[in-house]
């Protein structure tokens, strides 16, 4: 762990640790070149048993793939602004994102014995889908691989940020291989079966879809979903969403379960398809409500136009009478 006040690269002054995990540590830092700017420094863990050549290869790979992350520019992603190696340790520098994460939102909902509103959850889902679609359309495509409530922050404005690129993968378009930027296996409750084990080279955009769908399951039910390994051994271990929260629509439940299909081929082919499956009906319902409201307002206006005209005429007569009486 880096001590408070440590300065890296003659620029980043460590303020405090803000995260610690198997893949390394995250620090809140002050950028001395840009007064007032705070950033997050992610220290990437290197396998202590790796030989010198393996470490050198990993660092070259880190620089190559971190440069790809630095080119990402999307409102729902924190901007990666720098990356460097210091004392044989790799660091990724990105925007510090304030606000609560969605895990905290679930905790508060449980504490107050309520569920998060489905419409609000779907509005968050739309933003996450937009970010993933942007990542997946890069050349080469970029996978997140660790989508979960604690890696999604919501700012005061309602803007969602998908944070923690610690497990990002960059896919090679030439074949089915993926290149791991930073080694890691994700979080069990949100990890698809194909991402388990040492050889997880079969992960693709549908792995991110599974993790997002599992995250939505948690947000809608206040319960973490059954792990993929458990579901493989006991297929009925994943409880229906509407059993846990009857207020959720059947449409949303079907979409989430489609995203959580055990086999990648049974999931939506890409995030755009998943977003449409999840939100298209919701959008239509919203449009219908707005259309009904507009129709009712027009009908009310039509019914009352005679009264409004009479009232306007009376107002004009009163104004004229008052004016000429002076």
Instruction: State the alpha helices, DSSP H only, in the chain.
Output: 52-70, 102-111, 118-136, 205-221, 228-233, 241-244, 250-259, 271-325
The sign of the CA dihedral 235, 241, 246, 248 is negative
Question: With contact defined as beta carbons under 8 Å apart, do 131 and 162 qualify?
Answer: yes
- Nearest to residue 105, comparing CAs of 119, 95, 93, 120? 120
Spatial distance between the Cα atoms of 172 and 59, rounded to a whole number of angstroms: 19
Q: Which residues are catalytic?
A: 146
Rounded-to-integer distance, Cα 279 and Cα 35, Å: 42
- Measured CA to CA, the distance from residue 304 to residue 308 in angstroms comes to 6
Q: What is the four-CA torsion angle of 43, 49, 55, 61, rounded to 10 degrees?
A: -70
Burial code (b: 16+ CB inside 10 Å, e: under 16) for 296-311 equals eeeeeeeeeeeeeeee
Q: 132: burial class by Cβ within 10 Å (0-12, 13-18, 19+)?
A: buried
Q: Name which of 278, 256, 143 is nearest 205 in CA terms.
A: 143
Sign of CA dihedral 99, 105, 111, 117: positive
């Amino acid at each position: 762990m880096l001590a408070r006040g440590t300065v890296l690269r003659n620029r980043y002054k460590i303020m405090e640790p803000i995260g610690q995990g198997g893949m390394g540590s995250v620090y809140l830092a002050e950028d001395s070149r840009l007064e007032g700017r705070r950033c997050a420094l992610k220290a990437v863990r290197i396998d202590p048993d790796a030989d010198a050549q393996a470490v050198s290869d990993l660092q070259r790979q880190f620089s190559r793939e971190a440069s790809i992350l630095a080119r990402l520019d999307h409102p729902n992603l924190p901007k990666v602004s720098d990356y460097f190696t210091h004392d044989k340790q790799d660091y990724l520098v990105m925007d510090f994102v304030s606000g609560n994460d969605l895990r905290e939102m679930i905790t508060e909902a449980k504490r107050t014995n309520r569920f998060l509103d489905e419409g609000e959850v779907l509005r968050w889902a739309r933003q996450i889908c937009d970010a993933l679609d942007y990542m997946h359309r890069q050349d080469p495509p970029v996978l997140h691989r660790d989508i979960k409530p604690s890696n999604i922050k919501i700012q005061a404005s309602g803007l969602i940020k998908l944070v923690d690129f610690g497990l990002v993968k960059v896919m090679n378009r030439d074949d089915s291989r993926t290149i791991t930027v930073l080694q890691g296996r994700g979080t069990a409750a949100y990890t698809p079966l194909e991402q388990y084990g040492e050889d997880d080279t079969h992960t693709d955009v549908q792995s991110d879809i599974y993790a997002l769908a599992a995250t939505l399951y948690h947000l809608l039910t206040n319960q973490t979903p059954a792990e993929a390994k458990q579901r493989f051994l006991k297929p009925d271990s994943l409880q229906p969403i509407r059993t846990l929260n009857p207020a959720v629509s059947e449409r949303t439940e079907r979409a989430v379960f489609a995203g959580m299909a055990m086999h990648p081929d049974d999931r939506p082919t890409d995030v755009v398809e998943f977003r449409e499956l999840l939100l298209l009906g919701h959008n239509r319902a919203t449009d219908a409500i707005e259309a009904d409201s507009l129709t009712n307002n027009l009908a009310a206006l039509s019914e009352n136009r005679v009264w409004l005209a009479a009232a306007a005429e009376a107002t004009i007569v009163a104004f004229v009478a008052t004016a000429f009486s002076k």
